[in-house]
Structure 1
Amino acid sequence: MTKTERTLEIKILTEEQAMQASATRFLDAWNKGEYAGEYLTFTSPGMFFEVINARRWDLVVKLQKLGKTSIRELAKQVQRDVRRVHDDIKILIEHGIVEQDAGGICVPYDTIHADFTLTAEAA
């Protein structure tokens, strides 16, 4: 059995767009009967940057390189205070970007793609 590569697509969409995209993805996955990736949707750039700031993005990048590790080791690798790293990891876990089990924390995705568009109407 081959391992399915996990992908996470992060988007900023209006609530209406997010609902439509979710329905479309569900129907596509249902009809094809195969893994269609995982999605994280924010309804504004402000919400996106509240969750994924520069410090947290650095943690995600480092975790992808390290693989499963402890919060203490991650803090050591990024040269940050363990408590601050723990706080940031907790938020990333709540949003499904990082996973934790008895063996440690990890980014379970082989690929993460962030996509959003700013238009004059939204500005």
Structure 2
Amino acid sequence: MTTLTLGLASVEQGRERLAAAFRGEAQGHHIAFASVELLWKVLTAKRWELLQAMTGQGAMSIREVARRVGRDVKAVHGDVHALLDAGVLDRGDGGRVVFPYDAVHVDFTLRTAA
């Protein structure tokens, strides 16, 4: 099973992960956001619904994604491109899109305000 971890990371934490990868330490599949606000701006409820429909399903057309979630193709097209731009989705053959993971783990901690 291939799991994507979405989380928060500073630039320094990203550099540390990169250095560890260059040392040969397995890092898994991660996409890091600079803030929780940015994470939720990219992963809206509708986009999360797309990921749920695409998880483990292989490459598919935007029209097929729209059919699976019962939404307008044009609206799904915009959401798919936002997820492509964020690196969450990949482009497949023939204009298809793919979410190449079997699971998603969202990892961040909410702490009391200072």
Which TM bucket (shorter chain)?
0.7 to 0.9
TM, length-normalised to structure 2: 0.85
Alignment partner, residue 36 of structure 1: 27
Match of 1:77 among 53, 68, 77: 68
1:109 to 97, 101, 105: 101
Number of residue equivalences = 113
Please name the residue that 2:111 is paired with: 119
**CA–CA distance in 2 between the matches of 1:66 and 1:89?**
15
What is the DSSP-based 3-state SS (H/G/I as helix, E as strand, rest coil) of the residue aligned with 1:117?
coil
Where structure 1 has 5 or more consecutive residues not aligned to the other structure, the ranges are none
Give the SS at the match of 1:66: coil
Superimposed CA distance per residue, residues 8-48 of structure 1 (whole angstroms, 9 cap, x where no aligned partner): 321124xxxx122212212211112x652232222222211
Tell me what 1:97 maps to: 88
User: Contact conserved, 2:4 with 2:30, CA < 8 A, in 1?
Assistant: yes
Q: Percent identity?
A: 34
Q: Unaligned stretches of 5+ in structure 2?
A: none
Deviations 1:72-114 (A, max 9, x none): 0111111100000000000000011111133411102233221
User: Would the aligned equivalents of 2:56 and 2:102 in 1 still touch at CA under 8 Å?
Assistant: no
Distance (whole Å) between structure 2 residues aligned to residue 12 and residue 35 of structure 1: 19
